[in-house]
Structure 1
Amino acid sequence: MLIILIAQAGLFREGVARVARDFEPGIEVICADYRTSAFEDGTSADLLIVDGDHQREALDAIGALRRISVDLPALALLTEIDQPTIDSFMAAGVARCLSKSQSAQALHDAMQVVLAGATSGTTEQTRATTGPATYSRTLTPRQIEVLALVARGESNKSIARQLNIAEGTVKVHLYTVYKALNVESRKQASIAAARLDKVGDAQLHQALDAQLAIKRLLSDLPARRFKRGEVLFHKDAPSDALYYVLRGTITLQEIGVDVGAGTILGEIGLFSPDHRRTCTAFCKSDCELLMVSSTDAMRMYYQDPEFATYLIHLVTRRLEADKLRSKQEGARRSSV
């Protein structure tokens, strides 16, 4: 596999090149500056990674390279993730934008998704005659569920717990999946999974059923501890973060609702027109939380369809619950 890395010379470029080479054995990374024509010798690359902070130069380089290699899959690395910037790179043909604050594993995951997407861009005839899409017809619904969780990065132990089956059963399912898809590793299975509509459907159902492994998505964040009575945020304050409850109980004061471990809160303010808090939240007990800045939360929303589906479903359910509470409160007042 050949990867072209477009970035200014220096430590950042050398570091990204080293991480990219670790993606799998046999990878070659060619580093080039923005104004360098990396394909003058007719070399055909498998993936383009570009430092997108110098946006104009990066977009020019992407345009020049894609004129030579139309189907070249591309990944942009950015310091700041915002919708206008993402739109600009997507319009230029970039498949994914990744924050530079992410881990090496996050880069590998993004490379995996982008490469899988490039493979899925082949013609319907090719897809019908070759590749894992053909073999997937032999997979059972349970094997599809296991594969969907593997593609999400879950361990065998986590998969067993979520599906309420033995870890040994997970291994048996994976053996069958590997054989059916003609692959030899979890990484290869995950790449193949991105091409299967059934796996995508399973992942969406898991998100809609609130089975999304939020802790996996937030694994790089340190836990923060709060004392009983501490206020996380006040009603009408700017919405600057999401919270995930690891331990303890949070009270949403205005609506009199308590939420506990495994709950996300603060999401509605991210999508409200004025980005303001709709309730005051305080710790009913000592709490341990993960906090995600609004910028990082929106980056995850745009880059992870499963997380976006989960978040939209969560917001909808909570708005419906608020509507029901208002209706019941109105009925109670009328009866007094």
Structure 2
Amino acid sequence: MIRVLLADDEAMIRAGIRSILATDPDIEVVAEATDGREAVELVRAHRPDVALLDIRMPRLDGLSAAAELRRATPDVSVVMLTTFDEDEYVSRALAEGAAGFLLKAADPRELIIGVRAVADGAAYLSPRIAQKVIAQLGAGQLSKADAARRRVEQLTPREREVLALVGRGKSNQEIGGELFLAEGTVKSHVSAILLRLSLNNRVQAAILAYEAGLVRADG
């Protein structure tokens, strides 16, 4: 069972998201918050697998809440959920360690896919968000590529293989299947990669894999 905390200050939005999530028998909403401060408190109390946070909330906005959760409960995956897809929000969300970014206007099935992907240890960005990230990476690509390749050289050959598959959006289970590794071994490799390269999460690892040329934008 995937345990989810839902945080949004609009009751109708919460009800709609809860109804969508309820269509998947493997997902359970264990708590709801109406502001960012309450979301942080409830995550600490319930320790869900995934925290769905609206970006614009009273008392503490979603991005600030995500930063607090990264420090206090790094085992909880944070997904930003918003009506907006401005570049500043995307950049801040990734910098604050969000594992996913979903738009409220997206297909409801995308919400289920995103929650499942993040709970399984993968990263997930709405296609519109992914396009923005790729476009941003295109600017100054050569200098970024050189720096990224130097960073990746610190890794072992096996770690580079794992990083490339993380860059393709694969979950730990899928990576294990491709490389014939136990899921726990893959998890250890991912943790070592994040630590050695000073990355906050799989989204940042995927971006680095792209910049280093380990994965192409077209997959």
Length-normalised TM-score, structure 1: 0.35
- Quote the residue 2:93 is aligned against: 89
- Return the letter of the residue paired with 2:47: S
Query: How far off its partner does 1:131 sit?
Result: 4.9
- Quote the residue 1:21 is aligned against: 22
Instruction: Say if 1:309 and 1:15 are closer, same or farther in 2 by CA, change over 3 A.
Output: same
Residue 108 (structure 2) pairs with residue 104 (structure 1): yes
- Quote the residue 1:77 is aligned against: 81
Query: How far off its partner does 1:40 sit?
Result: 4.9
Query: How far off its partner does 1:116 sit?
Result: 2.9
Say if 2:4 and 2:50, in contact at 8 Å, map to a contact too: yes
Say if 2:4 and 2:52, in contact at 8 Å, map to a contact too: yes
- Judging by fraction of residues, say which structure has more helix: 2
Distance of 1:6 and 1:107 partners within structure 2: 14
Matches within 5 A, 1:35-50: 35-36=37-38, 37-41=41-45, 43-50=46-53
- Return the letter of the residue paired with 1:58: G
For the residue of structure 2 that corresponds to 1:38, the secondary structure is: helix
Gap regions ≥5 residues in structure 1:
139-180, 183-194, 196-301, 314-336
Distance of 1:84 and 1:75 partners within structure 2: 16
Matches within 5 A, 1:154-193: none
Distance of 1:52 and 1:6 partners within structure 2: 9
Structure with higher Rg: it is: 1
Distance of 1:94 and 1:113 partners within structure 2: 13
Matches within 5 A, 1:89-238: 89-117=93-121, 131=173, 133-137=175-179
Gap regions ≥5 residues in structure 2:
124-158, 163-171, 188-206, 211-215
Residue 12 (structure 2) pairs with residue 11 (structure 1): yes
Distance of 2:82 and 2:119 partners within structure 1: 19
Say if 2:63 and 2:93, in contact at 8 Å, map to a contact too: yes
Length-normalised TM-score, structure 2: 0.52
Say if 1:59 and 1:89, in contact at 8 Å, map to a contact too: yes
Residue 187 (structure 2) pairs with residue 309 (structure 1): no
The alignment's C-alpha RMSD in Å is 3.6
- Quote the residue 1:32 is aligned against: 33
Equivalent pairs: percent with the same residue? 19
Query: How far off its partner does 1:15 sit?
Result: 1.0
For the residue of structure 2 that corresponds to 1:70, the secondary structure is: coil
Ranked by relative contact order (alpha carbons within 8 Å, sequence separation 6 or more), the top structure is: 2
For the residue of structure 2 that corresponds to 1:23, the secondary structure is: coil
